[in-house]
Amino acid sequence: MGAGVNGPARAGRRGGRTRHQPMGDINVTPLVDVMLVLLIIFMVTAPLLTVGVPIDLPKTQAKQLNSDSEPLTVSVGKAGKIYLQEREIGLDEIVPKLVAITKSGYDQRIFVRGDGEANYGAIMQVMGALSAAGFRRLALVTAQEDPA
């Protein structure tokens, strides 16, 4: 006894075959497959999106900051070299480049990363130059300490 959506099945003109109705359900299996592949891709690539300047950050017990947008990062390497994002830059070039890059003016947060073995004076020169230029939202970046 075949009962379809539109009532009982009726015999068609040719040999008693029933007419096929279009299926009203949506097949979500391909959608789920695509979403799982995208999830795996983003899980693999997300850790690779961090700033690529190799710096050994000092460890602290501070909590991690949450940021919605990609931060502007100024890094000071072990040898005192200064990087804006991933490009090496001179101390006298930092402020003009940051003024040109920042969209929200001097209110944009700038992260300063310093190698644990870098000269403290070099890091303070960078922070002093940024502060003197009018940037007030400066943050020092550190690595989190192991709780052990």
The bridge status of strand 110-114 relative to strand 138-141 is parallel
- pLDDT given at position 21: 80
Closest to 97 measured CA to CA, from 135, 139, 125: 135
* The CATH number of domain 51-144 is 3.30.390.30: no
Statement: the pTM of the whole predicted model exceeds 0.85: no
Q: What is the pLDDT of residues 22-69, one digit of tens each?
A: 877 888 899 999 999 999 988 887 766 655 556 666 666 666 655 556
Look at residue 138 in the predicted model and tell me its pLDDT: 82
Is the pLDDT assigned to residue 92 strictly greater than 70? yes
DSSP state of 105: G
Confidence class of residue 72 from pLDDT cuts 50, 70 and 90? confident
Q: CA–CA separation, 48 vs 51, rounded Å?
A: 8
Domain ranges for the chain: 51-144
9's CB contacts (< 8 A; 6+ apart) are 2, 3, 18, 19
